[in-house]
């Protein structure tokens, strides 16, 4: 089974205006949408499009949390959230008026008792299961939370996938995650230099592999992606042609596609192709990738 963790899920309230936002004035929207989000939830959503069952874990609170939970169930996404007694699941306001303005909510505080409840759920994971940890850690939790969870699972045969930045990513490497997915800029930040060539990206990825990562998947936006696998092989793939209209969730979609592709084939080249198709399909869409668009792009790469 695949499990995703979203510590601070959100309802994105997206408002569209016909003219620029006027601060201090009444602005009339021409339309609005509510999008249920969070990096782990995005991964679960794309996995569902690919026919891969997953369980979305994390924390929800209040009526907004109940709404998010019902909405995900309606999308066919299985959840097993921990319900917090205080606070409310955050609402992020996204105002699209030529330029985009965002106001992101803080979300509820997560007490130690809730973390222990999450750990109890993770104790049920078995050999061969996949745990996907993605995104930042909320302010109410220690920045060592990823390490805490992976240390608890160490030696159990659970394959961890981590999509995070800087120290959050570097500090989990001793636990030998199955996959990490920095982009080329994040990889450069980790090694302390700008990566200008493919050889430099490969060398930087290898340093993370030497520190414990089994597979390093580096996304490079319009330049495609590069994978350094656990056998030491380098795989390179370009990006399919299309117009980028949305970068939100593209990295999460790539993670979902890679994991699904590997589980279905056991082959890293196949996993990289499906991951790239999923990431591109989201980038070329207003929302997360849909099965039809993923399949169409797969034929072109």
For the stretch 18-31, pLDDT in tens is 999 999 999 999 99
Over range 115-138, report the average pLDDT.
95
Query: What proportion of the chain, given as a percentage, has pLDDT over 90?
Result: 79
Residue reference for tokens 């992976």: 150
Strands 159-163 and 130-134: parallel
Catalytic hit among 123, 223, 252, 267: 252
Local structure of 85: helix, strand or coil? coil
In a domain, 203, yes or no: yes
In a domain, 97, yes or no: no
| Long-range pairs for 228-233: beta carbons < 8 A, 24 or more residues apart | 228/202, 229/268, 233/268
Q: In this structure, is the dihedral angle defined by the CA atoms of residues 169, 173, 175 and 176, taken in order, positive or negative?
A: positive
Mean pLDDT of the chain: 93
Q: For the chain, what is the largest distance between any 2 Cα atoms, rounded to a whole number of angstroms?
A: 59
| Residue range of the domain that includes 182 | 2-6+39-56+109-298
**Cα–chain-centroid distance for residue 93?**
20
In a domain, 11, yes or no: no
In a domain, 175, yes or no: yes
In a domain, 13, yes or no: no
Predicted confidence band at 260 (pLDDT cuts at 50, 70, 90)?
A: very high
Please indicate whether residue 80 is annotated as part of the active site. no
Residue 179 clears pLDDT 90, i.e. is over it: yes
Tell me, what's the pLDDT at 96?
Answer: 87
> Exposure pattern of 83-111 as b/e (b: 16+ CB <10 Å)?
ebeebbbbbbebbbbeeeeeeebebbebe
**135 closest CA partner among 110, 161, 112:** 161
In a domain, 124, yes or no: yes
Tell me, what's the pLDDT at 140?
Answer: 92
For the stretch 137-175, pLDDT in tens is 999 999 999 999 999 999 999 999 999 888 999 999 999
In a domain, 24, yes or no: no
For residue 192, count CB atoms less than 10 angstroms from its CB and return exposed for 0-12, middle for 13-18, buried for 19 or more. exposed
* Region of poorest pLDDT, from 63-67, 83-87, 296-300: 296-300
Residue 41 clears pLDDT 80, i.e. is over it: yes
- Sheet of 10-16: strand order equals 31-37, 10-16, 90-97, 99-103
Residue 247 clears pLDDT 80, i.e. is over it: no
Number of folded domains that form the chain: 1
- CATH number, domain containing residue 194: 3.40.1190.20
Predicted confidence band at 45 (pLDDT cuts at 50, 70, 90)?
A: very high
Tell me, what's the pLDDT at 208?
Answer: 96
In a domain, 214, yes or no: yes
Tell me, what's the pLDDT at 267?
Answer: 94
Q: Which residues partner with 161 through β-bridges? A: 132, 179
Torsion, Cα of 197, 200, 205, 206 (10° steps): 140
Residue 271 clears pLDDT 90, i.e. is over it: yes
Rounded Cα distance between 278 and 269, Å, is: 14
Query: What proportion of the chain, given as a percentage, has pLDDT over 70?
Result: 100
For the stretch 194-235, pLDDT in tens is 888 889 999 999 999 999 999 999 998 888 899 999 998 999
Tell me, what's the pLDDT at 196?
Answer: 86
Tell me, what's the pLDDT at 248?
Answer: 80
* Region of poorest pLDDT, from 98-107, 172-181, 227-236: 98-107
Conformation bin of residue 155: beta by default, left when phi > 0, alpha when psi is -120 to 50: left
Over range 238-259, report the average pLDDT.
88
**Strands annotated E in the chain:** 2-6, 10-16, 31-37, 54-61, 78-79, 82-84, 90-97, 99-103, 130-134, 159-163, 179-180, 215-219, 225-228, 234-237
Tell me, what's the pLDDT at 301?
Answer: 83
Tell me, what's the pLDDT at 266?
Answer: 92
Rounded Cα distance between 211 and 50, Å, is: 32
Rounded Cα distance between 6 and 231, Å, is: 30
Q: What is the pTM of this model?
A: 0.92
**Cα–chain-centroid distance for residue 48?**
14
């Amino acid at each position: 089974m695949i499990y995703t963790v979203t510590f601070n899920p959100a309802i994105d309230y997206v408002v569209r205006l016909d003219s620029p936002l006027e601060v201090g004035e009444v602005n009339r929207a021409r339309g609005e949408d509510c999008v249920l989000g969070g990096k782990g939830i995005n991964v679960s959503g794309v996995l569902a499009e690919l026919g891969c069952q997953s369980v979305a874990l994390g924390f929800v609170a209040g009526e907004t949390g109940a709404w998010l939970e019902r909405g995900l169930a309606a999308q066919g996404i299985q959840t097993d959230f921990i319900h917090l007694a205080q606070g409310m699941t955050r609402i992020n306001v996204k105002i699209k008026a030529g330029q985009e303005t965002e106001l992101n909510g803080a979300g509820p505080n997560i007490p130690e008792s809730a973390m222990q409840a999450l750990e109890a759920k993770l104790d049920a994971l078995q050999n061969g299961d996949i745990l996907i940890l993605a995104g930042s850690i909320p302010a109410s939790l220690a920045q060592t939370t990823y390490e805490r969870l992976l240390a608890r699972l160490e030696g159990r045969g659970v394959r961890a996938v981590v999509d995070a930045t800087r120290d959050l990513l570097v500090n989990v490497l001793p636990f030998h995650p199955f996959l990490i997915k920095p982009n080329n800029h994040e990889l450069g930040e980790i090694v302390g230099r700008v990566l200008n060539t493919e050889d430099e990206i490969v060398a930087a990825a290898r340093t993370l592999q030497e520190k414990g990562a089994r597979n390093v998947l580096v996304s490079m936006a319009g330049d495609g992606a590069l994978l350094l696998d656990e056998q030491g092989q380098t795989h390179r793939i370009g990006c399919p042609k299309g117009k980028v209209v949305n970068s939100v969730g593209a990295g999460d979609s790539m993670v979902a596609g890679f994991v699904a592709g590997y589980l279905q084939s056991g082959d890293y080249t196949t996993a990289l192709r499906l991951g790239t198709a999923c990431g591109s399909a989201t980038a070329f869409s207003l929302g997360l990738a849909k099965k039809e668009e993923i399949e169409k792009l797969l034929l072109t790469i």
